[in-house]
Amino acid sequence: MNGGRCNLNGSCVCTDTCFVGDFCEINYNAARLPLAGAIVQDYPSTRDDYIAIFVLLSLVGLINNIFSLTTFVRERIRITVWGIYLIVFSLLSIALMLTILSYIMVIVRYDNDTYRLLACHGIPFVSLIMIDGSIFCTAAIAVERVLIECWNFSINGSRWRALCISIGIIIYACVSNLDDIFIREITFDPVGNPVCTYNFDGHPFWRPFDIVFSYAHVIIPCVIHLICSICVLTTIARRKIFICSTEDKLYQVWFRQLFIHKDFLIPPVCLILCVLPHGILGHLLQTCIPYSDKAKLRLHIAFVLLLYIPQTLTFLLYIYPNDIYWKEFQQTFIYRSMCWYCIRRKRKLREDSELRSLVHTSTSSKSTLSVEQNSSLRN
């Protein structure tokens, strides 16, 4: 099986380093491991490093998404179609950050059977739902931008439509990742350690299912963002040429608008850069990574962690570059509390500085007076 060569005496030699077993039937490709399983294969010297990365990602992500959610629920944003998608995106991202924190518990207790099953079936399924759901929400935002800019749809369109589409996206994310529950099994690697791998031979029904959705999760969002960005920028550029009656070429105005509307383009560019490496390495190239190749194993782990970046930096991707969203954030309780704290802190520092200056002046005056009195007594 799987390219192995068997002799007449029944012994087989596996030509592919990612397959072992009496008949080369067991796939030990690290590129198909869930995140916790891949990290366990890189044990034990790097465990604390991975825990620190998970803590950093989750804390930064929670802060970003709490700030973002308090902005998106403001009336001026939530009444728009985009606002619904952005609220759903923030909620999914918060859930993803909590899932990242659960990886710490699983990594520390991976020797326990319950935690091992959770790391093999439960946590990867939940995290993929959050990742894929949030990615397709960004694609929905891009499509809505095209409808508004190119076909004059209202920015305050049907929020029920956006809500129904968001629910549909979450259901799609759940259904399209069911294979991560049913075809993964706990087996043992060549050294004898338990690992979670895909058993396509035991579940042939799920193989085409896995291939189709693996490609769909990578290609569809990237293509949607690319096409929508080109359509929106082209429409805006033509509108500027018509209104301003400029003699500039279309491509000149197009690149000018690209810089002006960078707030719309930053999220899709970040998404594409974060999704493509893992999609290319894990699905499109069908790369074989033996467990013993630590360099490629760590590259695989890095590409998986890269998938969490768009959901971790929600505030920096959507609110900070956008003037309207930034002004709305400035009206939130969080921003006002931070401003109040900073003002109070500066005031306290100024008062302390003035008090120290006053004490220093008083001390200097007393020292001068004492010197003068001593001088007069000697005279």
User: Is residue 86 one of the residues assigned to a domain?
Assistant: yes
User: Is residue 332 one of the residues assigned to a domain?
Assistant: no
- Cα–Cα distances (Å) from 191 to 292, 301, 309, in that order, read 10, 21, 34
Q: Which residues lie closer than 8 Å to 24 by C-beta, 6 or more apart?
A: 1, 2, 3, 4, 12, 14, 16
The pLDDT tens digits of the residues spanning 305-363 come to 999 999 999 999 999 988 889 999 999 998 888 888 888 888 887 777 777 777 666 66
User: Is residue 244 one of the residues assigned to a domain?
Assistant: yes
Q: Provide the number of structural domains found in the chain.
A: 1
Asked if residue 258 lies in contact with residue 233, where contact means CB atoms within 8 angstroms, the answer is: yes
User: Is residue 312 one of the residues assigned to a domain?
Assistant: yes
User: Is residue 315 one of the residues assigned to a domain?
Assistant: yes
What CATH number did the domain enclosing 109 receive? 1.20.1070.10
Domain that holds residue 105: 33-321
Task: Pick the closest to residue 126 from 65, 170, 70, 86 (CA basis).
Answer: 170
User: Is residue 259 one of the residues assigned to a domain?
Assistant: yes
Cis before 277? omega within 30:
no
How does pLDDT run along the chain (379 residues), one tens digit per residue? 555 566 656 666 666 666 665 656 566 677 777 888 888 877 677 888 888 999 999 999 999 999 999 999 998 898 888 899 999 999 999 999 999 998 888 888 888 888 888 888 888 899 999 999 999 999 999 998 888 888 877 777 778 888 999 999 999 999 998 888 888 888 776 667 777 877 777 777 778 888 888 888 888 999 999 999 888 888 877 877 777 766 677 667 777 777 777 788 889 889 989 988 887 776 666 667 777 778 888 888 888 899 999 999 999 999 998 888 999 999 999 888 888 888 888 888 777 777 777 766 666 655 555 655 555 555 5
User: Looking at the chain, how many residues does it have?
Assistant: 379
- Cα–Cα distances (Å) from 34 to 223, 297, 312, 335, in that order, read 26, 12, 20, 38
User: Is residue 331 one of the residues assigned to a domain?
Assistant: no
